[in-house]
Structure 1
Amino acid sequence: MDPVSVTLLAALAGGAAGEIGKQAWTSLGELVRRPFRSRDEPDSLTTVSSGLTELVGLQQDPADLVRAQALSTALADRAALDPAFGAGLRQWHEQARLVRTGDGEIHNEISGGTFNGPVLQGRDFSGLSFNMQRDPRATS
């Protein structure tokens, strides 16, 4: 499983994406609070965090990317040891990735000068094709 993005965790903890983001954060909290069931020996439960301490810490200070990284690491470690948690985390992660948190956000700006021609601004374009002719009235 891919690690959960530090930026995504921090954004959700900080309340990004409104109600949907809040629901995603609450859902992660519910998942982390489930009992830890390791497929290994019970001793492994004492060496790996459930993620709850890191979750609470990040909720208290969402701007702290060190706390976000600690939560991401705890989630990955727990997922590796607890198959049921790993499955739940994968499902949560697929849904949470759809939340627009500004992760990878692009800011487009055009200023100064005179421009002739079309402008396309956005993010994640693919399969585009343009067949345009230059306007003969346009000056260079």
Structure 2
Amino acid sequence: MEAELTALAVSGATTLVGLMVSETWTQARDRVARFFARGGDQGSAVEELGRSQQELLAARAAQDELAGADIEAEWRTRLRRILQDDPQAAEELRCLLAELGPSVDDNHGASVHNSISGGVQNGPVVQGQSFSGLTFGVPGRVTPEQGASGQ
């Protein structure tokens, strides 16, 4: 059971941090704060979440992956403690993750959002899953399909 709670805490922290840097954070924040307040002062939970979000945004802007990982670890620890102290919290967290987490399409697996930042891409960038038959032409080169007859 401990491994299951740890996995749930990891999933919850990952989802939480992902939400903090998304457009949906403002809608999700109060729902998440209610979970962390556990019937107590929701205002302080909102403040803590807000501080973490600001720190996370600053870390991402500075490309400080370690600071971002530290923020996620802090929330993972809090989640694990809540799950250990309150057996009913696990089901509540599962419901919260199902409500706020990435949607899943039964036919195609989890939805994915990819982004590219920084640097210069001097060619095609392809992000996705299950590609086949992709061809990128290079000026002045003859592809095997063109062979000698395509010149």
Q: Which TM-score applies when normalising by structure 1?
A: 0.53
Q: Percent identity?
A: 19
Question: Aligned pair in 2 of structure 1 residues 134, 80: CA closer, same or farther (>3 Å)?
Answer: farther
Q: CA deviation at 1:17?
A: 2.4
2:115 pairs with 1:111? no
Q: CA deviation at 1:104?
A: 7.4
Where structure 1 has 5 or more consecutive residues not aligned to the other structure, the ranges are: 37-50, 113-118
What are the ranges of 5 or more consecutive residues in structure 2 without an aligned counterpart? 60-66, 104-111, 136-142
Aligned length: 111
Superposition pairs for residues 1-140 of structure 1, below 5 Å? 1=5, 2=7, 3-4=10-11, 6=13, 8-13=15-20, 16-18=21-23, 20-35=24-39, 52=45, 55=49, 57-59=51-53, 61-62=55-56, 63=59, 64-65=67-68, 66-98=70-102, 105-107=114-116, 111=122, 121-123=126-128, 125-126=129-130, 128-130=131-133, 134-136=144-146
Q: Do the aligned partners of residues 121 and 81 (structure 1) sit closer, same or farther apart at CA in structure 2, a change above 3 Å counting? A: same
After superposition, the Cα gap between the structure-2 partners of 1:6 and 1:105, relative to the gap in structure 1 and judged at 3 Å, is: farther
Residues 75 and 56 (structure 1), Cα distance of their counterparts in 2 relative to 1, 3 Å cut: farther
Larger helix share, 1 or 2? 2
TM-score by length of structure 2 reads 0.50
Residue by residue over 1:75-103, the C-alpha shift from the partner in whole angstroms, topping out at 9 and shown as x without a partner, is 1221122122221112222333317xxx9
